[in-house]
Amino acid sequence: MTHDHPQDIQDYLVFGEYGGVNPSVTDSSTFTFLDPATMSELFEHEIEGCFLYSRHWNPTNKALADALALMESSEAAQVTASGMAAISCTLLQLCQQGDEIISGRTIYGGTHALLNHFLPRFGVYSTFVDILDPAAVIKAITPRTRVIFCESVSNPLLEVADIPTLSRIARQHNLTLVVDNTFSPLIISPIELGADVVVHSLTKYINGTSDTVAGAICASKAFIDQLVDVHSGATMLLGPVLDSFRAASILKNLHSLHIRMKQHSLNARYLAECLQTVGLTIHYPGLPDHPQHERMTRLMNPDFGYGGMLTINMGSKEKADELMVRMQDAKVGYLAVSLGFFKTLFSAPGSSTSSEIPAAEQEAMGLSDGLVRMSVGLDHNIECSFGRIYRCLQEMGEVTEREKRSLELPVAA
């Protein structure tokens, strides 16, 4: 880890108007000027400490953006009203009619829909490849390619991208590498590994309380200035403005992110190891048999573990659905989409968060309809949580007598 990112955030001091320990919330859409010349100048370029209109910048949003830039080791950042707004504005700023994007095929369903259905309406087309295969990425490059897009840890299959290799390919062909780091904030630092732009859904781990929707773009100052340009900037002209009250709330939660990511990771690794012992097919980057375990170990910031996401392959949609209903009834967590909440969340991505991906493509990428995606929460007694999951599996007949004897089952509350 090049920087101690939690320390950088802790050392970032922004006081409230009357000396408050939290920044003041700027509840204004527009801002006054003492000099008309200053207002005119602000239409041409940013002036430190001056604000024009909250669709452009707001002091509270700027404080959050600057903290996120510290977290991702970027020169600057911009916050948006959702993660999809961050991705959409980034790609629309980088591409124009006739341009092409190369994307990993195992990505969030909403992103897949944007690339596959929405952007082609404006003449921007995407090629989906196995992002783990550098040769496939290179083969897909054409004279019209502008962007390589991937997720650092993919949704929902938890494949780990080789960001340094993708960065070298992008630089060799004068492309921009955009990485969605939603699944692995603090764990992976894409810009330090060679990415040009990092996007986040702040809704997930960074906020951590499932009470708001927000996004972020972390990049060079030049690119962020392009995004907020009053004449041609995607965030300025499309207007995905994050409410300042929500920005203030996310900024407070950001200060505990390092603690939360450690606990999410510890709990997820414990469940992954125990569930694998039971005999289930588990995908988790922290397991030695995960195909990219060595890569994840090499690229990650080790203080924060392997992340809080795991998947269980139950073999069929019927079994996946039954397990999720039983787990919710047993108070393991909630049958709900999204992730990064303090409670465990689980869903079947093939029929929910990845449902935008056509069935044939889901099959090609290995996305089984029996897959259960779990965002493991901050449970204090994770042994108890596993005990509850284990009993659900017992009730379903998914645990054999041999497995019962081989596993020392924790006592559940």
Q: How far apart are CA 273 and CA 284, in angstroms?
A: 9
How is residue 59 written in tokens?
């002091």
The total number of residues shown for the chain amounts to: 413
What whole-number distance in Å separates Cα of residue 70 and Cα of residue 48? 18
Give the span between the Cα atoms of 212 and 242, in whole angstroms.
Answer: 10
Residue boundaries of the structural domains of the chain: 5-254, 258-406
Cβ-Cβ contacts under 8 Å for 95 (sequence gap 6 or more): 101, 119, 124, 146, 147
Res 363: pLDDT: 63
What does the pLDDT read at residue 413?
36
Report CA torsion sign: 31, 68, 92, 88: negative
Architecture per CATH, domain 258-406, reads as Alpha-Beta Complex (3.90)
Whether the bond between 156 and the residue before it is cis, its omega within 30 degrees of 0, is yes
Using alpha carbons only, give the angle 267, 268, 273 rounded to the nearest 5 degrees. 100
Backbone angles phi, psi at 338, to 5 degrees: 80, -175
Cα radius of gyration rounded to whole Å, the chain: 22
Bridge partners, 78 (sequence order) = 217
| pLDDT in the model for residue 412 | 39
Q: Identify the DSSP state of 211.
A: S
CB 248 within 8 A of CB 202: no
- For every one of its 413 residues, what pLDDT tens digit does the chain have, with 9 covering 90 and above? 457 999 999 999 888 888 899 989 999 999 888 888 888 888 877 787 888 888 988 999 999 999 999 999 999 999 999 999 999 999 999 999 999 999 999 999 999 999 999 999 999 999 999 999 999 999 999 999 999 999 999 998 899 999 999 999 999 999 999 999 999 999 999 999 999 999 999 999 999 999 999 999 999 999 999 999 999 999 999 999 999 999 999 999 999 999 999 999 999 999 999 999 999 999 999 999 999 999 999 999 999 999 999 999 999 999 999 999 999 999 999 999 999 999 999 999 855 454 555 666 666 666 678 999 999 999 999 999 999 999 999 999 998 644 554 555 544 33
Straight-line distance from the first to the last Cα atom of the chain, in angstroms, rounded to the nearest whole number: 39
Question: What does the alpha-carbon distance between residue 300 and residue 283 come to, in Å, rounded to a whole number?
Answer: 17
Which CATH architecture group holds 5-254?
3-Layer(aba) Sandwich (3.40)
pLDDT score at 48: 79
So what's the pLDDT on residue 356? 53
Query: pTM score > 0.75 for this model?
Result: yes
Give the helix, strand, coil percentages of the chain, each rounded to 5: 40, 15, 45
Give, for 37, the enclosing helix (H) or strand (E): helix 36-42
**Beta-bridge mates of residue 345:** 334, 375
Coil, helix or strand for 123? coil
The bridge status of strand 125-129 relative to strand 371-375 is unpaired
Please list the alpha-helical segments (H only) found in 188-309: 221-227, 234-238, 244-254, 257-278, 293-299
Q: Residue 39: what pLDDT?
A: 85
CA distance 170 to 408: 49
